[in-house]
Amino acid sequence: MANPIVHIANLNLQYAGTTVLCDLNWRIYPGEHWIIGGKSGSGKSSLAKAMVKQEKASGEIIFRFDQSNPMLAQAYYVANWYQFANLEGDRNFYYQQRYNKQQRNDTLTVYADLIHFGKKQQLDFRDAEPILEALGFGNCRETQLIELSSGEHKKLQLVQALWLRPQLLILDEPYTGLDKRSRENFNSLLDDMANAGTTLVLISNDRNIPDAINRFAHIENGQLHAVSHLDEIKQDEQRQRKPFPYFLQQAPLVDHDTMVELRNVSVRYGEKEVLKNISWQVKAGEKWLLQGPNGSGKSTLLSLLNGDHPQAYATDIFLFGKKRGSGESIWDIKQKIGIISPELHWYFDKNATVWHAIASGFYDSVGWFIQVKYEEKKQIEQLLDFFDLLQDKDKLLHTLPLGKQRLALLARTIIKNPQLLILDEPCQGLDRSQTAHFNAVLDELSGYGKTLIYVGHYESQLPACLDNRLVLEKGEVVISERREKNSIAG
């Protein structure tokens, strides 16, 4: 038998005092391409980071690269989040900063970032061109890094990885935020790389994977267990349903029968028109699905509704029956909206505990800075119990498994029982069981008079309550329809 490309023996890793990997052994042989799935918090990302020395672990990790292989003799890891810096090397950004014209110019453009990466790795930019086009990312070259949506940030990570062409490519949640077409093209590019000599390791619970994947495993009790099929990878157990907290069983106090109305709204950044003559009306109690490929303008549209985008005051937007800029403050608007998005998750205060993260929903901050009232404390405790987070309430949010982080942020979103819920890709990175639980909560919640705008790419992962759909493409509305209930989710 040929020598393994990767040899891992007796790997041990602890995180925050908890054993994550325990005497883990794993060998990857030529021709093998792995997907590592499994339960949230089982150690998948920790294993990937330990392999490239981004997590401190004990044990033996040996790479045996083939010097005759035309691919780069290197292990390259693509993290779940893209960590970028401004021109001075600072990584500390705040949530609304991407809409601040002066501070947007403080980061590199996509093109400049790629040029910098190419020079560092001694790559020819002409080899990146077909990758950019295949992922539908070519029109973002002059976009500032801070302006990119989560899906566009993921594309930048993937362009760099595919351009580098390493012998071992480790991808952590590579499909996060990708639209359907980009995902299909990306899988084709991975198959091409596998045929050319790259060994693939995907950390993912996704079902739509490259044809090249021929090995499957999950991590349990700190050790890696190979299985024979994707369906045998262990998932999180289905959570037991609990009664909704009483305060969420009350319909929100609605002061107008129209939640949102946009009249020929356009947004432009210099010569780039991001939204073009958008007209849309969301009535109280409606549930809308908002879709469109990466870069279609979804994130910009939602930022107008939430009050984060300064151009909201220069456009014809009505929220809760009042025209933006007619005297209401941004906090008046935010008090009536609960929102979750990849960007809010990304920029959330790293010092916030789970309890503080949920409490911050009362005051629309990305941390916790205000003393909550007695009744508010009771509501926080009720949601902690409902989402099975009581044992985690004093832990830092960012140290929890992704699934629990999403549930905590959903609790933050609904803590004030808002008139309008805006959920932007809330199930990114969750497995089938977690997604089903999340959507079941939304379906039940929607029955209590809530108005919902839900952004999601994949019909198989949508809640059943959605009965209307708006689709954007290149900043324009291409579909606006009201459907019979349950006809969108599939």
**3.40.50.300, 3.20.20.150, 3.40.50.880, 3.40.50.261: CATH of 6-232:** 3.40.50.300
Give pLDDT, residue 344: 83
Q: Give the span between the Cα atoms of 163 and 173, in whole angstroms.
A: 18
DSSP string, 280-334: EEEETT-EEEEE--TTSSHHHHHHHHHT--GGGGGS-EEETTEETTSS--HHHHH
Q: Give the span between the Cα atoms of 412 and 390, in whole angstroms.
A: 14
- Give the DSSP letter of residue 138: G
Q: Give the span between the Cα atoms of 390 and 383, in whole angstroms.
A: 9
Give pLDDT, residue 144: 84
Q: Give the span between the Cα atoms of 197 and 182, in whole angstroms.
A: 23
Q: Give the span between the Cα atoms of 188 and 226, in whole angstroms.
A: 25
pLDDT digits (tens, 9 = 90+) for 377-386: 999 999 999 9
| H or E element at residue 72 | strand 72-78
> CA 462 → CA 297, 305, 465, 489, distances in Å?
20, 22, 9, 6
- Give the DSSP letter of residue 150: H
Q: Give the span between the Cα atoms of 169 and 297, in whole angstroms.
A: 31
- CATH topology (fold) of 246-482: Rossmann fold (3.40.50)
| H or E element at residue 379 | helix 374-386
CATH 3.40.50.300 boundaries in the chain? 6-232, 246-482
**192-215 average pLDDT score:** 95
**Residues 402 and 409 sit within 8 Å (Cβ to Cβ):** no
Asked if the model's pLDDT at residue 313 lies above 60, the reply is: no
Give pLDDT, residue 96: 46
Strand partners, 6: 28, 63
Q: Give the span between the Cα atoms of 290 and 180, in whole angstroms.
A: 14
Q: Give the span between the Cα atoms of 449 and 393, in whole angstroms.
A: 29
**140 closest CA partner among 295, 293, 287, 4:** 295
Q: Give the span between the Cα atoms of 125 and 69, in whole angstroms.
A: 22
Alpha-helix runs per DSSP H in 52-126: 101-104, 110-121
**Residues 456 and 490 sit within 8 Å (Cβ to Cβ):** no
pLDDT digits (tens, 9 = 90+) for 93-125: 444 444 454 444 567 889 999 999 999 999 999
Q: Is 486 helix (H, G, I), strand (E, B) or coil?
A: coil
> What band does 327 get if pLDDT is binned at 50, 70 and 90?
low
